[in-house]
Amino acid sequence: MISRLTARRAVRSGVIFGYIFGAATASSAISYTRFYKTAAQRDALAAAYGSNRATSALFGPAPQLQTVAGFTVFKISMTLILLGAVWGLLTSTRLLRGEEDSGRWELLLAGPVTRRGAVVQALGGLGAGVGALWALTGLITAVTGLDASVGIAAGPALYFAVAMTAAPVMFLAVGALTSQLAGTRRQAAAYAAWVLGVSYAVRLVADAGLGLHGLIWASPLGWVEELRPLTAPAPLALVPIAAFTGVLLAATVYLAGARDVGAGIVPDRASRRPHMRLLGGPTALAVRMVRPAVTGWWVAIAVSGLLFGLIARSAGGTISGSSVQVLTRLGSRGNGTDAVLGVCFLTLAVLVAFAAAGQITTARSEESAGRLEALLTRPVSRCRWLGGRLLVTIVVLLASGVMAGIFAWAGAASQHAGVSFGTLAEAGVNLVPPAITIAGAGVLAFGVWPRGTSIVLYALLGWSLLVVVIGGVGGVSRWVLDTSVFHQMASAPAVPPHWEADGVMTAIGVVGALAGGLAFRRRDVQGE
Amino acid sequence: MAAAAIRTEGLTKRYGDVAALDQLDLEVAPGEVVGYLGPNGAGKTTTIRLLLGLISPTGGRGEIFGLDCQRQPVEAHRRLAFVAGEANLWPSLTGAETLRLLGRAWGSGVDEAYRDELVARFELDPAKKVRAYSKGNRQKVILIAALMTRADLLVLDEPTSGLDPLMEQAFRGSIREARDRGQTVFLSSHILSEVEALCDRVGILRQGKLVELGTLAEMRHLAALTVEATFAGAIPDLSGVPGVSSVQADGRVVRCQVRGPIAPLLKVLAAADVTELLSREPSLEELFLAQYGGGA
């Protein structure tokens, strides 16, 4: 029963992600064959990226860039690994701790099933989701490989799918374990996200060309990288992956039987002294409630900004000749350090946009969980509540942008990269308009189709990201490119910000938010 | 003349073809305690959500103290306090923090001494996080949050779900205090004894329509009076007496039920040798069940 219920939901999202993984792989492979036809072009690409510390740190090493397979692995594998890891930890915490939080597990556990038995069944269901992810990724890669110019055989394609599924499997297990440790779904996801963050940071240092490559074996993401699919397969790296997953799953099953249903192993203090700050009204409450998540985003943005600043100069130094053309396709038109920072700021723009989406989905969850009614049945108007939340969102986004600029400048200045504070502060502010557009679209969805708020937000974000990543290699029509908010953003500091385009994006966001606010005023308050 | 605490005219809410509330005309005077009854899905919560402006009517209108529920919700909410049947609160806040938040959101008129008195009366531990509270304790938090405002109108939707019998008594005491202070109470409840004990008038809702509204005395006609007579001699035949039904004889004792005028039965009983006569009015439960065809 539990395994069937879990499998149904896990397979559904596994299929969606399998399709995304397959489509990203296929588009990357095919666009390479179209845009890098001659050996000279491919050599130039390899010269630009083959020993580039910055891209190596961010995306992993780039061997065999002269081949379709090598380029594909370099271009997309780290993105897919991270995306898959996030999918894994969110899926398992949602289907394990989330289901327990909702009280549905108690109904099932009242039947003839033990707590350990229930978790084993749920893990089986999650396994079905992983199977779907692996099968679709492998199938689409293998079919793409049939194309003579791509030329990836079925065996390597399936091994590639194994490598792309390894991070999801490990982080499903991490999420399963943190679901036993933490008392709430949010806490479980936060613990798992910290594990992912540390894994990525360790791998990044290992690949940054600082002579610390041995550290790669200290990071689960490093093990995935060491599988080296499509280039120099090393299946031995599956051993630590399998061992890590096995240990975590065994601990999960053990702990599931050693704790009470609804409680975590890490004790949650039931009582504490009251903290009466930020309880003065709905806006103050919004600030209080979003603090933990916003702190997480700000840490991620600050650390990334600092890191990009630190590596920009050395990375920029390796760029020459035709590699400028590659960066141009990715949106950068400058040279050297500025050009590298231009591409790095795209990553920061994605982080800021995700922070914006998080703010709007949190607002919706106040409504769907019924908590909003506790405020709206008091003398608090819908406008005041939503306006307050949007004000908090704007402040969070502006601060995120400015912080990205400041930390990138701090990193770059420490390396004497010669990039001015003003330029990077401006580039930081330039990150905000796409996030405002995303937030505005989210508020519009919240107003007219509240239950679809997160679907609209994450579909828009995913689409914008996909278009700009694929568009970076070329071969995407102008019309399609224009639908991506990240494409509309000038890749400052490589080029000066397009304030006009930023103004249009901000205006679209504001109009969306106003229309959404008006619709919200008129519609019924709706639960889940 | 003071505006009615609650007034609705043809208030209707439809979801597709289904009328969750159909043409509700209701008036609650200031200072009244009105019970609102009906089985699940009859439209009680829909009525309350319309009055609170959380949902929009398909037709008709509602007013709170003369203020339009849809156009002036904030002004209307300054005059009322609401208790939902399910306490959806912020799990990470403690009880004390939640009361502070809800008090501040209501306005500046919260009497903190009275709040502390209510916390003691309902035996709430305010240092605990909402996440750690039982359902009953979460319900206490929103009850205290509403009562501490001393709002002119208390709108209560199944307010005692999850409360133990002792706390139920504390609740009844608080509502009587509110009534004595002149507050208006609109109480939707499944607990008929609660409504019977507290309310001046009762409305009964059936499939979205208000089918009865009146005092308990006015509503006695809905169900039969139970009469028990003990005879010294022969038992008369009561089966043909107008309005009498369910006649049961047990030795010299006869029980029966009477609808409508009791005079024909009394005439027959007077002619017989009655030694003891007991009559009992229908309880609210019997009235309610009579309305829904469940007996009595």
Nearest CA in chain A to B57: A524
Determine the residue among B14, B54, B138 to mutate to test chain A binding: the one whose Cβ has the most chain A Cβ atoms within 10 Å: B54
pLDDT band at B260 (very low <50, low <70, confident <90, very high): confident
Q: Which residues of chain B are within 8 Å of residue A378 when distances are taken between CB atoms? A: 77, 102, 105-107
Q: Choose among B56, B91, B105: nearest Cβ to A524.
A: B56
Query: Cβ of A524 and B54 within 8 Å?
Result: yes
C-alpha A206: how far from its chain's center? Answer: 21
Quote the strand ranges of B85-232, DSSP E. 153-157, 184-188, 201-206, 209-214, 225-231
Of A271, A371, A377, the CB nearest to B82: A377
Q: Which two tokens stand for residue A204?
A: 């990044």
Mean of per-residue pLDDT scores for chain A: 88
What ipTM is given for this predicted complex? 0.87
Q: What is the pLDDT of residues A71-102, one digit of tens each?
A: 888 877 887 898 899 899 999 999 999 888 87
- Interchain pair A378, B101: CB under 8 A: no
Asked whether A114 and A257 are in contact (CB, 8 A), the reply is yes
Residue A459 is inside which H or E element, if any? helix A453-473
**What CATH topology corresponds to B6-214?**
Rossmann fold (3.40.50)
Bond from prior residue into A235 cis (ω within 30 degrees of 0): no
Alpha-carbon distance B107 to A280, whole Å? 10
B123's tokens: 């035996």
CB of A183 within 8 Å of any CB in chain B? yes
Distance from CA of B85 to the nearest CA of A (A): 11
Of the partner residues A269, A281, A525, the one whose CB lies closest to the CB of residue B54: A525
For B229, phi then psi, to 5°, come to: -125, 140
Query: Where exactly are the structural domains of chain A?
Result: 1-265, 278-528
CB B50 within 8 A of CB B215: no
Flag if B94 and A523 touch (Cβ within 8 Å): no
Tokens 């050599």 correspond to A43
Q: Identify all chain A residues contacting B89, using CB atoms and an 8 Å cutoff.
A: 371, 374
A8 inside 8 A of chain B by CB: no
Neighbours of B9 (CB within 10 A): 14
pLDDT tops 50 at residue A444: yes
Residue of A nearest to B81 (CA): A378
Which residues does chain A have within 8 Å of residue B92's beta carbon, measured at their own beta carbons? 289
Q: What pairs with residue A316 in β-bridges? A: none
Query: How many of the other CB atoms lie within 10 Å of CB of A141?
Result: 27
- pLDDT-derived band at A416 (thresholds 50, 70, 90) equals confident
Q: Judge whether A289 is closer than 8 Å to chain B, CB to CB.
A: yes
- Token pair, residue B222, equals 């809905």
Range picked from A202-211, B17-26, B262-271 for highest mean pLDDT: B17-26
Please judge whether A376 and B74 are an interchain contact, meaning their C-beta atoms are less than 8 angstroms apart.
no
Q: Using CA atoms, how far apart are residues B139 and B156, in angstroms rounded to an integer?
A: 12
Choosing among A279, A382, A386, A526, which should be mutated to test the B contact, i.e. which has the most B CBs within 10 A? A279
Q: At what angle do helices A382-414 and A336-368 cross, to 10 degrees?
A: 150
The mean-pLDDT minimum among A55-64, A321-330, A346-355, B31-40 falls in: A321-330
Confidence of residue A510 (pLDDT cuts 50, 70, 90): very high
If you count residue pairs, one on A and one on B, with CB atoms under 8 Å apart, how many are there? Answer: 94
Q: Which of residues 262-281 of A touch B (CB under 8 A)?
A: 268-276, 279-281
CA distances B82 to A88, B77, B193, Å, are 42, 9, 21
Which of B80, B132, B87 has its CA nearest to residue B107?
B80
Collect all residues with Cβ–Cβ distance below 8 Å to A32 and sequence separation of at least 6: A68, A71, A72, A75, A473
List, for residues B238-247, the tens digit of each pLDDT value: 988 998 988 9
pLDDT tens figures, A332-382? 555 678 887 887 898 889 889 989 999 999 999 999 999 999 999 999 999
Higher pLDDT, B76 or A101: B76
The pLDDT value recorded for residue A172 is 97
Q: In chain A, which residues have their Cβ closer than 8 Å to the Cβ of B96?
A: 274, 276
- The residue of chain A with its CA nearest to that of B84 is A374
Question: Which tokens in the block code for residue A98?
Answer: 């989330």
Q: Is B83 helix (H, G, I), strand (E, B) or coil?
A: strand
Predicted confidence band of residue A327 (pLDDT cuts 50, 70, 90): low
Q: Write out pLDDT tens, residues A144-191.
A: 899 888 889 999 999 999 999 999 999 999 999 999 999 888 889 999
Quote the tokens at residue A514.
Answer: 């106003």
On whether any CB of chain B is under 8 Å from the CB of A285, the answer is yes
Inter-chain CB proximity B77 and A377 less than 8 Å: yes
Q: Would you state the CATH architecture of domain B220-291?
A: 2-Layer Sandwich (3.30)
Q: What is this structure's pTM?
A: 0.83
| Nearest residue in B to A367, CA atom | B88
Asked if A378's CB is within 8 angstroms of B106's CB, the reply is yes
Nearest to A374 among B75, B100, B102 (CB): B102
Nearest to B105 among A281, A522, A525 (CB): A281
Nearest chain A Cα distance for residue B199, angstroms: 23
Q: A371 and chain B: CB distance < 8 Å anywhere?
A: yes
Cα dihedral value A383, A389, A390, A396, nearest 10: 170
Nearest CA to A291 out of A362, A384, A380 is that of: A362
d(CA A405, CA A402): 5
The identity of residue A90, as a single letter, is L
Residue B295's pLDDT band (cuts 50, 70, 90)? very low
Query: Other CB atoms closer than 10 Å to residue A524's CB: what's the count?
Result: 12
- Mean pLDDT, rounded, for A198-205: 89
How many alpha carbons fall within 13 Å on the CB side of residue B136? 12
Closest residue to A378, CB basis, from B84, B88, B105? B105
Phi–psi pair at B226, nearest 5 degrees: -95, 125
Q: What is the mean pLDDT of residues B265-292?
A: 84
Interface check A220 vs B, CB under 8 A: no
Residue B163 Cα, gap to closest chain A Cα (Å)? 20
The Cα–Cα gap between A321 and A227 comes to 32
Amino acid A198: pLDDT? 92
Q: What residues does CATH 3.30.70 cover in chain B?
A: 220-291
The two tokens of residue A507 are 């205006």
Q: Crossing angle, helix A68-93 and helix A115-145, to 10 degrees?
A: 160
Phi/psi for B170 (5° steps) reads -60, -40
Q: Does B131 sit within 8 Å of A268, measured CB to CB? A: yes
And the tokens for A362? 């949190």
Highest mean pLDDT of the ranges A57-66, A410-419, B34-43, B97-106: B97-106
| CB pair distance less than 8 Å for A289 and B97 | no
Q: Nearest C-alpha of chain B: how many angstroms from A177? A: 21
Average pLDDT over every residue of A200-226: 89
Nearest CA in chain B to A525: B54
